[in-house]
Amino acid sequence: MDVGQYLNPVLASVVYSVIGAVILCIAMWVTARIIPFSVKKEIEEDQNTALGIILAAIILGLSLIISAAIQG
């Protein structure tokens, strides 16, 4: 049994997952900087549910794009 045969796909998956998570974090940081108001204040203090839903949609969209790019 060759361990490398099983280790390479697992290692590739871990590397691509980390790269995808880093790209997603950078994209969310850029999104928070572009928005002209404090996202944290709007969601935590003002209980702005609509903003939370929009941010969740942005995260899901970015995740799908990153996943499709990694899969090829």
Which tokens belong to 53? 């839903």
Q: What is the pLDDT of residue 63?
A: 86
Residue 71: pLDDT band with limits 50, 70, 90: confident
3-state secondary structure of 54: helix
3-state secondary structure of 53: helix
Q: What is the pLDDT of residue 53?
A: 93
Whether the predicted pLDDT of 64 surpasses 80: yes
Residue 72: pLDDT band with limits 50, 70, 90: low
The per-residue pLDDT for range 39-56, each reduced to its tens digit, is 888 888 999 999 889 889
Structural domain that includes position 19: 3-71
Secondary structure of 7-34 as H, E, C letters = HHHHHHHHHHHHHHHHHHHHHHHHHHHH
Number of domains the chain contains? 1
